A and B are shown apart, each in its own frame.
Chain A
Amino acid sequence: MEAIEHPPIFRLPGIPDHVTYTWLVMIILAALAFVASRNVQLVPRGAQNILEVVLEQFIQLIDDVMGHEGRRYLPLIATLGLFILVGNLMSLVPGLSGPTTNLNTTAACALVTFFAYHYIGVRKQGAVSYLNHFTGPMPWSLGMIPIKLLMIPIEVISQLGRPLSLTLRLFGNMIGGHILLAVIFLLMGLDGLIGWALSGSVAGAVVGGIGGAITIVFTVGFLYPLKILVSFLQAFIFVMLTMLYISGAMEEAEHHAEHH
């Protein structure tokens, strides 16, 4: 990938790029939170206003999906969402590297979700009745025991598939768009069409100039808006699935309680 993609401008020696830029995302979010909450007023202004709007969106989403119970998990959900969103958008800035274009970062986010919803499920309904749910929805009886034993590996595999799909969905979307942008920039840049247009030859000026103009319009008018949309969409989907998993782990408790 080094062949088509210039490494990011700012690198710390001995530290991988995605870790450096994860720290950068952390610094940005922490600074924003500090500036917004330093001087909290009843009538919000500036950064406080922006963050209040963002967090109200999160609260509304949580109320829609999880009900009122879910507001306790606002810190977890909003942190994941904001981190992924800023990380996604950072990979669009030329010269920076997005942390979410690395498999390790997305796997870390997905593992946080995975352990969080299991912890919440065990906490809400106790270990025994939570584990009981892994044996399928059928009632316990003598004839059902083989089927229930058969359900256990299926359920375990489907649970393990959740963090895998969360990881790969975010990573694949981000790295796919990243490589697409890198290839377009390679075709467009000084080694490509624009370089040909500036080389002085007549054919280069005509073909390279027109082609370079077309690729610039294509990139600015189509690819960048698409990537921004995908960044928001992937952050939304990650947060949405996290909420669905958490509310799934919680709702089973209520469902289970009704039977007794």
Chain B
Amino acid sequence: MRRSLILGGLSVLGFPGMALAAEGAPAGGGWIGPFAVIAAGIGMAIAAGLCGLGQGRAVAAAVDAMARQPAAAERIQTAMIIGLALIESLAIYTLVIALILLFVKGIQFS
């Protein structure tokens, strides 16, 4: 079961490259392009999911603190927003890399 799943996944991953190699792929990035699209999608999915987990923990703790001490809500909110920005920037790095993979000439054809 597991082996067939792995084989299926590998064949799905390998298919764009093989189809392109069969075509001959004259100019542009060659076989890198299709893999770059897959890498961008998977990487962005992992980054977004883990970033959501991290931000969820941060927001949960901040809301808990704000509910316990409403007087300090403003300062906690400022600290929370800064923290969220710092966490989010890690996902943004992945987004930038995904955009490079998708749009930079030499990796993609266009």
Contacts and interface: CB of A to CB of B under 8 A. Distances in A.
Interface in A127-180: 165, 168-169, 171-173, 175-176, 179
B103 A237 contact: no
Given A169-B89, A169-B92, A237-B82, 8 more contacts: A168-B93, A172-B96, A173-B88, A236-B81, A237-B85, A240-B78, A241-B82, A244-B82
25 contacts: A1-B103, A3-B110, A64-B78, A168-B89, A168-B93, A168-B96, A169-B88, A169-B89, A169-B92, A171-B96, A172-B92, A172-B93, A172-B96, A173-B88, A173-B92, A175-B99, A176-B92, A233-B81, A237-B82, A237-B85, A240-B78, A240-B81, A241-B82, A241-B85, A244-B82
Interface string B70-110: 00000000100110011011001101100100010000001
Contacts of A172: 89, 92-93, 95-96
Contacts of A240: 78, 81-82
Interface in A1-50: 1, 3
Contact of B92 (A64, A168, A241): A168
Interface of A: 1, 3, 64, 165, 168-169, 171-173, 175-176, 179, 233, 236-237, 240-241, 244
Main SS class of interface, B: helix
A237 B89 CA distance: 11
Given A3-B110, A176-B95, A240-B78, A169 B103 contact: no
A169 B94 CA distance: 11
Interface in B15-32: none
Which residue among A3, A64, A172, A240 has the maximum number of chain B CB atoms within 10 Å of its CB?
A172
B93 to A, nearest CB: 6
Contacts of A64: 78
- Which 10 pairs show the lowest CB-CB distances between chains A and B? A172-B92, A237-B85, A169-B89, A172-B95, A165-B89, A172-B96, A169-B92, A168-B96, A168-B92, A176-B95
